[in-house]
A and B are shown apart, each in its own frame.
Chain A
Amino acid sequence: MTGWNWHLDGWIVLAGVLSACSCALLGNYLVLRRMSLMGDAISHAVLPGLAIAFLVTHSRSAVPMFAGAVIAGVVTAVLSQAVNRHGKVEHGAAMGVVFSVLFALGLILIRQAADHVDLDPGCVLYGNIAQIPLEAIGGRVPPQVVNLAVVLVVDVLFVVLFYKELKISTFDPELATTLGYNADTLHYALMVLVSVTTVANFESVGSILVIAMLIVPAVTAHLLTDRLSAMIGVSLMAACLSAIGGHVFAAFGPGWLGMKAATNTSAMMAVVAGLLLCAAVLLAPRHGLVSRLLHRRQMRMTILREDILGLLHRWQEMRAEGGRAMTHREVLAAVGDTRSVRQAIRSLLRKQFVEKASGPPDAGHTYRLSGDGQARAARLIRSHRLWESYIDRHFNLPPDHVHMSAERVEHFLTPELRHEIEADLTSPRTDPHGREIPPESIGG
């Protein structure tokens, strides 16, 4: 492929962005309403609408085709509902029945029409975005781009005008109904718009890839954000990125791999959207796999460090001031001799919670809590013993069982919770085993 050409690539990217954005915008609501597959069903089922419109009018003019497809889309939604309700067929399966039969019907009808006009079923599936610039002769804006822009504007208007209604009926349809919004009307309005958007996108991205644009950017955004407005914004960004990236990779990617070819832009848009989703699944700040993994590791390390601090504290508590410090070997014997334990000890030394001294010749180093370490350890011990006392009071457990629970909970008690427990127990001085509960802060 040659380099970037604004007259060619510009129009393609613009068409891609417009169609991806219009799909992604509505997709947010489909995903949140757990109706992702309705997009799937509608995008399959508009095929017979197109074919029938053509067979009736014998022309490829836009208006009847559009009307036929939109009607087919709405019929799909209504029929699925009817099969679900009257046939007692589970919702997903009902949709499967309806859209596959309609799609089959569409294929057969299109075959009948195909002799008279180039209504290529393949084109319906993966679109014909590469043809768009050919229409832009003499500085004219290609009609497909105009269509897509109009649809996007309509979608945006719908979402902006009915933002509040959509939000509430998506979150809680029953509440919406009691508040006087007609949830059914909104539902069908949304279905009509999804049909319109799907039809408009046929020529650029094709029906299956409409599904990708409806669902994937919205799911990506849902992983990254916590608010509807932000989710919509991020999904639009993801849609734009997939459109641009899709065209760049499709046109130039094979060249980078040393192939003298280009591939399908709209298909590549779906792939890029999928890659963005993968990135979100891995890297999302709160829900991503990596962050959860890191957090879990960190949590384990924190618990280990605190356990060692607690161990040293108890050791020192049991021996009089100035007694023998705990040796390296004894610590390992108590906590376990693993890599992460040694790592935790190093980190405690680095943070100067623990001080190292040379111990008896055959036992390695000895460890002693520093001032800071002492304070930390005391807080932990306090949590532990407060919890033990709390359990002892409220649970019907033998006293020798309270320790296990405290081992687990001690790392998670905040100062407020400790305070509440203390209030509940009316300022206890000792735990059920008779050991002293350290004060909240050593200084005071």
Chain B
Amino acid sequence: MCPAFRQRERDEWHLMSPRARALAAIGMAGVLWCGATVVASEPGRSITDTSIRWPTWPELARALALRDYNTRVVVLGTALLGVAAGVVGTFAYLRRRALMGDALSHATLPGIAIVFLLTGAKSMPLLLMGATISGVLGVLAVLGMRRMPRIKEDAAIGIVLSVFFGFGMVLFGLIQQMQTGNEAGLAGFIYGKAAAMVAGDARLIGVVAAVVVAACAALFKEFRVICFDQEYASSQGFRVPLIDLIMMGLVVMTTVVGLQAVGLILIVALLIIPAAAARFWTDDLLVMVALSGLFGGMSSLIGATLSAIVSGLPTGAMIVLCAGVFFFFSMLIAPRRGVIASAARHWLLRRRVAYQHLLRALAEYEETHGEGAAIGRKDLFSVRSWSAAQVRRTLARAVRSGDLAVLADGSVRLTQRGRVEALRILRNHRLWELYLIRHADVAPSHVDRDADEVEHVLSEAIVRDLERALDEVARVPPSPHVREPAP
């Protein structure tokens, strides 16, 4: 792509006021939400099969086109959940609160169980309220324990997670023996039971998603500043505890409405994974939030659709697996921060370094043996410790690009073009060595190795700085090493 065009595109985005950018984000969420409610208002047939069975073509088409009512509710509901979790998860991730979400989601269980024990009925709003209350208690317990001497944050998270969950399981054990039939749905909160989602649940998720996205857009500035530099924010008069509270409140809301769809063990994945995946692609927080929302929404969409098509695949787990795939590919192929990109950069640098070493070795050889001197391949090994394969490959490249010429006896010498380049490299090397000796108090016997690492990344600006610092105008400064004259 034309770089100038890309630059312009980027500028446009930056000059767009954050408010406009936020409105764009709200708009995106709004469209999704309207889609969900409009489509969700039409009744249809159930998809709650339990056996594992590959779908027939008509079924597949139905599911993909979201023609089936239940599939539509489930898919759109979870997609909205994914967007909300992705958006708010970004801030939690950057604030290093990611695993707090884990403690929170596990801590919801006793609340659900207590409400069920008290009311004996499965009233969704009440259950979610119970979940919220005990989840918030769990978060407060983590924050409180962190202040105790000798309890670190990770331990506090583990304690709340396991003890609250244990308490929830105790109550579940009681419920199982006291009631009959009715409690079956409660287990869905643990692993998630998206298939049981009804239009009302999807609508609730939609409302929460709208609130989360709107709040994150409105408080973008506040969230950004406390995530980046909490102390500075506080010195600027931002009420850090209040902003923190709002952020955690959004996380709690998202977690609680997501329990039914994804389950309390896996909901934390929706908070962390899309955010971590988005981080690979961008250095702009706003883009990261949008991407994270997109990844969250897409993984939910794909995961839920897949589990609707292939019955017997648990929805929550499929969603998390899709998010994991997004993360995996992001980590692998992202342009700058990705593993492949950085490995490639590393490889290219090593190639360039080897090439420059070769040219410099020849330039140094010419210094002692006179211009145009040819060096035998064997002698090359005595100049530097490098592997035979490396020398062969680098030599071949140098000959191909016309920097080296091979003589009849197999020895090599610099071409005119190669000499210019080699002298430039040698000069950089010597300049840096001199700089180290004069200004960094590095012993001459050590500078060679230090210079070896740096010389290849010296930009022209730095070279100019070096020239100025060393007051060096000579074309190639002499070597600081006392060299044995070559035999």
Contacts and interface: CB of A to CB of B under 8 A. Distances in A.
Interface of A: 31, 34-37, 39-40, 44, 83, 86-90, 92-97, 100-101, 103-105, 107-108, 111-112, 115, 121-122, 125-126, 208-209, 211-212, 214-216, 219, 222-223, 250, 254, 259, 261-264, 266-271, 273-274, 277, 281, 287
Contacts of B272: 93, 96-97, 100
B82 to A, nearest CB: 14
Given A36-B155, A262-B177, A264-B169, A125 B190 contact: yes
B228 to A, nearest CB: 14
A261 B276 contact: no
A271 B167 contact: yes
B152 A36 contact: yes
A268 B148 contact: no
B172 A271 contact: no
10 contacts: A36-B157, A40-B157, A100-B320, A100-B324, A103-B265, A104-B266, A111-B52, A271-B170, A274-B166, A287-B149
B174 interface: yes
B324 A101 contact: yes
A112 B53 CA distance: 11
Contacts of A273: 163, 166
A104 B154 contact: no
B55 interface: no
B416 interface: no
A90 B98 CA distance: 10
B68 interface: no
B331 A83 contact: yes
Interface of A is mostly: helix
Contacts of B187: 122
A209 to B, nearest CB: 6
Contacts of A97: 269, 272-273, 276, 324, 327
Contacts of B269: 96-97, 100-101, 104
Contacts of A101: 269, 273, 320-321, 323-324, 327
A250 B158 contact: no
Nearest to A95: B99
Interface string B168-192: 1111111001100000000100110
B381 to A, nearest CB: 34
Interface stretch (B193-201, B311-319, B406-414, B444-452): B311-319
A93 B93 contact: yes
Interface in B239-278: 265-266, 268-269, 272-273, 276
A273 to B, nearest CB: 7
A261 to B, nearest CB: 4
Given A93-B99, A104-B266, A214-B158, A263 B170 contact: yes
A259 B162 contact: no
Pairs A-B, 8 closest by C-beta atoms: A270-B166, A263-B173, A274-B163, A267-B169, A101-B324, A212-B162, A100-B269, A104-B320
A96 B152 contact: no
Contacts of A121: 191
Given A212-B165, A274-B163, 8 more contacts: A39-B158, A90-B98, A92-B99, A100-B268, A121-B191, A267-B167, A267-B173, A287-B150
Interface of B: 51-52, 93, 96, 98-99, 102, 106, 145, 148-152, 154-155, 157-159, 161-163, 165-174, 177-178, 187, 190-191, 265-266, 268-269, 272-273, 276, 279-280, 312-314, 316-321, 323-324, 327, 331, 337, 339, 342
Given A31-B155, A104-B316, A222-B150, A92 B163 contact: no
B313 A92 contact: no
Contact of B321 (A108, A126, A214, A216): A108
A347 B272 CA distance: 59
B166 A96 contact: no
Given A104-B269, A216-B163, A274-B166, A264 B98 contact: no
B158 A215 contact: yes
A264 B159 contact: no
Contact of A111 (B167, B169, B313): B313
A211 B154 contact: no
Contact of B173 (A92, A112, A250, A287): A250
Contacts of B339: 86-87
Most chain A C-beta atoms within 10 Å of own C-beta, residue among B166, B280, B314, B337: B166
A271 B170 CA distance: 8
A392 B279 CA distance: 57
Most chain A beta carbons < 10 A, residue from B167, B170, B173, B177 = B170
A37 B317 contact: no
B53 to A, nearest CB: 11
A104 B159 contact: no
Contacts of B168: 267
Contacts of A264: 169-170, 172-173
Contacts of A90: 93, 96, 98
Given A101-B327, A216-B159, A107 B98 contact: no
Contact of B161 (A40, A83, A269): A40
B167 to A, nearest CB: 5
B169 A96 contact: no
A227 to B, nearest CB: 13
B314 A107 contact: yes
A39 B161 CA distance: 12
A117 B189 CA distance: 24
A393 to B, nearest CB: 36
Contacts of A263: 170-174, 177
Given A96-B269, A125-B190, A264-B169, A270 B162 contact: yes
Contacts of B279: 89
B254 to A, nearest CB: 15
A281 B96 contact: no
B153 to A, nearest CB: 9
Nearest to B343: A86
B123 to A, nearest CB: 22
A31 B339 CA distance: 32
Most central of B52, B162, B313, B319 by chain A CB within 10 Å? B162
Given A89-B279, A105-B321, A108-B317, A270 B163 contact: yes
B163 A287 contact: no
A88 B279 CA distance: 10
Contacts of B161: 40, 208, 211
Contacts of A111: 52, 312-314, 317
Contact of A115 (B52, B148, B154, B317): B52
Contact of B99 (A96, A125, A281): A96
A271 B168 CA distance: 9
In this complex, the member of A44, A254, A267, A277 whose beta carbon has the largest number of chain B beta carbons within 10 angstroms is A267
B204 to A, nearest CB: 24
